Amino acid sequence: MINQIQMWDKINSLKAELEDLGPLKPEDEERLWKKFRLEWNYNSNHIEGNTLTYSDTELLLIFDKVGSDYTGREIEEMKAHDVAIRFVDELSKDKNRDLNENFIRELNKIILVRPFWKDAITADGQSTKKEVNPGEYKKLPNSVRLANGEIFHYASPQETPAKMNDLIEFYRKFADDVELALKPLWLAAQLHYRFVRIHPFDDGNGRVARLLMNYYLLKNNFPPIIIKDSDKKNYITSLNKADTGNEEAFLIYLGEQLIWSLEKSINAAQGLSIEDEDDFEKELEILKKESVLKERVKVKKSRNAIKVVYENYLGSLLEKIDDKLAKIDPLFAEKDLHIWAQSPINSTIVKSPGKNLEYVYQQIFFDFYDPEKFGMIAGYGYSLNKPILPIEYPDLNDFNISYHWKAYKNAGINAFNLGIEIKIYFLDYKYQIYINGINDILLEKLYDSSITETELKNIVLKISNYTLSKIKFQVENLMKNN
């Protein structure tokens, strides 16, 4: 641990270096504030028991999403604390407004949001419950049980108003001190420590203490101090030392954290990275959690995956399309349907191209060991109508379903033909359906994703309307030319 002289030298040196670099570029200031904002919100709330992970904190505050199950109160308080940080930042820039009790009450009201009940300990150490009213000073003692079993008593409810008044008077006495202006950390530390000793509210005192501390630092053009949850033990120990009269230990502890913030600020001003060693893991967690915004990739293409898709959705969809397009048949003299599969299986029964939708089913569900249903494969040896050697299934990549109508009846000698092609692609982790002439994908799904009835109806509607529009276009051209 550094001593106080070394701490001040380091802080003054870093602050001078930061000032020499001049104002940060807007993009660097934005990334630095985002870093401070996320670290401040995450760590300050975690110290008080909030369980949101760092990645979920970022998802919540940046994307307004949460990747896991948390209590409504945890989510509410994380968002409220972010509002409090913005409030502190704005007020720190207002040189005409200074710290007062109303400001402190408002901070507590912001972070706690609304009244609630919480577990508590009476003055004689008995467990109880009490209602927490945001922004109101405590009406009952808020003693705490220490790790050694002893009860620590903060200021009593009766003492609290006077002690809060004393705190404000103490702050005003030193806030404008010319010499102290060079060392705002000292008064920031005093604000934090003296406020915690009073513990004026029923809940949120630790968060408010850190907000007050950073308010004064921001007001004096210093970056905020971030107390890391991972360093909570040292943080509490330094407070305990201050309770025994060693306030220097708490000041030095905060100084070490301020040095971290100043170094991050200098890196940002120089356009350098401001990431921590564990930020790589944090970003990986965020990427993992972002799957709540999209479907998660789990199933790779296989013949079995395609079978499931066909049985549950694709077979029904193709039948609905076929039934709809069959209503066009009476307008033409003749209709052909040809279906090709890439890398098709050709047997004595299943031949390419197919002439009806049964061909799609046969290609997907083809069973080499059921020749009565699917036929024997030329060039392979059979014994008792079974393949002698194992046969590998060829990869199934796509289907091309081609509808072709010939001779539009109502056009006489100008009878025209019409064709459309529906293409189904089976990619590694998803499948797609297109129709020629339309660049947009009609359907794109993961292999384990469901298709709603509405989606099915919309696909059939798009294909039938597209086909109808092609007929109308031809008819209108003929009418213009006659």
ω before 330 within 30° of 0 (cis)?
no
State residue 134 phi and psi, 5-degree precision: -55, 135
Per-residue pLDDT at 391:
80
State residue 64 phi and psi, 5-degree precision: 60, 40
Position 35: which residue type? Answer: K
Helix axes 26-47, 54-63, angle to 10 degrees: 130
- Confidence (pTM): 0.62
Going from the N-terminus, what domains does the chain have, and what CATH number goes with each?
Answer: 4-293 (1.10.3290.10), 303-481 (no CATH)
E strands, 284-428, in order:
332-341, 382-383, 386-387, 398-408, 418-426
Whose structure tokens read 């940060």?
24
Residue 479: exposed, middle, or buried by beta-carbon count in 10 A (0-12, 13-18, 19+)? exposed
Give every CB contact of residue 84 below 8 A, 6+ residues apart in sequence.
107, 110, 111, 207, 211
Position 349: which residue type? Answer: I
Digit-coded pLDDT (tens) for 442-455: 889 999 988 888 88
Instruction: Say whether 347 sits in a helix, a strand or coil.
Output: coil
Average pLDDT rounded to a whole number, residues 269-291: 73
Digit-coded pLDDT (tens) for 179-212: 665 589 999 999 999 999 999 999 999 999 999 9
Joined tokens for residue 153: 């008593």
Digit-coded pLDDT (tens) for 75-89: 999 999 999 999 999
Specify whether the CB–CB gap between 430 and 451 falls below 8 A.
Answer: no
Joined tokens for residue 88: 């502190």
Specify whether the CB–CB gap between 419 and 402 falls below 8 A.
Answer: yes
Whether residue 399 has pLDDT greater than 90: yes
Digit-coded pLDDT (tens) for 222-235: 999 999 998 999 99
Digit-coded pLDDT (tens) for 311-350: 999 999 999 999 999 999 999 999 999 999 988 999 999 9
